[in-house]
Amino acid sequence: MQLDGRSIVITGAGSGIGRATALECAMHGARVALIDRANADAVAEEVRATGGTAVPCGADVTDNDAMHSAMARAHSELGHLDGVVTSAGIFGAHDMGPLAEISLDGFMEVVNVNLVGTFLALKYALPSIVDHGGGAAVTVASTGALRGNAMGPGYTASKGGVDALTRLAAVQYGPKGVRVNCVCPGGTDTPMTMGVFSSPEVVAAMKGKVPLGKAAQPEELASVIAFLLSDGASHVTGTRVVVDGGATIAG
């Protein structure tokens, strides 16, 4: 999984899977640009403390102009781009419940971050990756993209859209030397889940529903993402990798 000398831009890099991915990629020799609306500077310091190179790029992934500027800064500071990881995502407090009871604003709040944010990251990163001779992109969807999900209409629809957008990008950019794959996490213990997967009740429930008996840690997703960015996955594109402890196949 060596990434020596590669320049990788990561959205949602301020916490959770994005932060873990930044640290994992840096550990394997990559230089990273970190896009986050709040914590890019703090995670950049963490990366630098390990001896890595990190460029913080504060931006809201739903803001077209901000994303254009952030990607331009990443390209300028790192010299080129070899890869992009689109890990920015949210649950929405106003996107929970039956579809007919969800407001358009509640629905779009989640779709804008999860799906539009992924689109903008790919839109502005892929040309730079192509210009440097090719590379890899990894999107982050969810097992909610694969089956009915209780997380909400916006969340489920947006993650399904990320999965589909990944396949389209793989077809369009494969001939240009870019591999595009999607990681689908199941239950993952991140700040976004507010420690729900640490509660005794949830842990007990997961032992009956998840063959591996636990939630994932962000680092377990990060290692898969780093592999997909590396030459170890040189003939893998347009696919999804489910990282859910077996929950999906168990029903």
For tokens 């507010």, the residue is: 194
The question of whether 124 is a catalytic residue gets the answer no
137 close to 179: Cβ distance less than 8 angstroms: yes
Residues near 135 by beta carbon (within 8 Å), at least 6 away in sequence: 6, 81, 82, 83, 129, 177, 178, 179, 229
Whether the CB-CB separation of 197 and 189 falls below 8 Å is answered with yes
Identify whether the C-beta of residue 73 lies closer than 8 Å to the C-beta of residue 48: no
CA dist 220 to 9, 76, 134, 224, Å? 19, 31, 26, 7
Structure tokens at 140: 């982050």
Distance in angstroms (rounded) separating the CA atoms of residues 15 and 64: 22
Catalytic residue among 155, 169, 185, 190: 155
- CA-to-CA distance for 192 and 91, rounded, in angstroms? 8
Give the catalytic positions in this structure: 155
